[in-house]
Amino acid sequence: PSFLQNRINSGQVNNYGFSNPGSIVIDEAGHRMFVVDSNNHRVLVFNLDPNSNNLLDLNADFVLGQANFNSGLRNGHGAFNNITAGRFSSPSGVAFNGSGAQKILYVSDQNNSRVLAFDVTGNIENGEPAVEVIGQINLTSNAAGTSQSKLREPRGLAYDADRNILFIADANNHRVVGFNPDTKAFEYLLGQ
């Protein structure tokens, strides 16, 4: 690596370059690091050393949001027209719930006004679909809204394991909401 280089994707979409990386979260027990790669509309997954949780190498081992490491950049910053359970449009935040039997990775899908939840308990496969959606009625809709169940361009995420609450920075609604994964409801509202 060169600390003097700043090329998007290190020249091409691959398993080690980024285009506007965002949030990072580490699954210490599972020895993985998840990095949001916003402008490539994906999350890169790096395996970590099981003894020290240090990076094994500089290459991602898996990708979420894309079928493979060589796809991702869409007209620079363009949104996807094909809304699916496994694709993002400018993801920006990431949080990890490793407190229960099921390990869940939450990713804010900014331009689709939703948060996707991925079951990362076992092995991860490239392009695997989300198992749950927050802020939309199903995994294939993306209508923004201002209500007790809708989001408008969510960004930052934080998971509070003690209270089992996912906090979502609902950016264009100018608020922070707290979502309970068990009840599937917003339980906190800050800023309004």
Cα–Cα distance measured from residue 124 to residue 135, given in angstroms and rounded to the nearest whole number: 24
Q: How far apart are CA 112 and CA 43, in angstroms?
A: 15
Phi, psi of 8, deg, nearest 5: -60, 130
Note the pLDDT tens digit of each residue in 61-72: 999 999 999 876
Q: Inform me whether the pLDDT recorded for 54 exceeds 60.
A: yes
Token output for 161: 């394991």
Q: Is the model's pLDDT at 76 over the cut of 50? A: no
Mean pLDDT of the chain: 90
CA-nearest of 120, 101, 112 to 25 is 120
- Kindly report the backbone phi and psi dihedral angles of residue 84, in degrees, each rounded to the nearest multiple of 5, phi listed first: -135, 175
Contacts with 13 (C-beta within 8 Å, 6 or more apart), sequence order: 19, 40, 69, 70, 71, 72, 73
- Give the tens place of pLDDT for each residue, 93-122: 999 999 888 999 999 999 999 999 999 999
Query: Would you say residue 74 has pLDDT above 90?
Result: no
Identify whether the C-beta of residue 26 lies closer than 8 Å to the C-beta of residue 48. yes
* Whole-angstrom distance, CA of residue 110 vs CA of residue 10: 24
Quick check: pTM over 0.95?
no
How many Cβ atoms sit within 10 Å of the Cβ of residue 147? 10
Q: Where are the beta strands (DSSP E) in the chain?
A: 21-27, 32-37, 42-47, 62-64, 91-97, 104-109, 114-119, 132-134, 154-160, 165-170, 175-180, 185-190
The total number of residues shown for the chain amounts to 192
> What is the distance between the alpha carbons of residues 55 and 135, in angstroms, rounded to a whole number?
34
Q: pLDDT tens-digit profile of 135-162?
A: 999 999 999 999 999 999 999 999 999 9
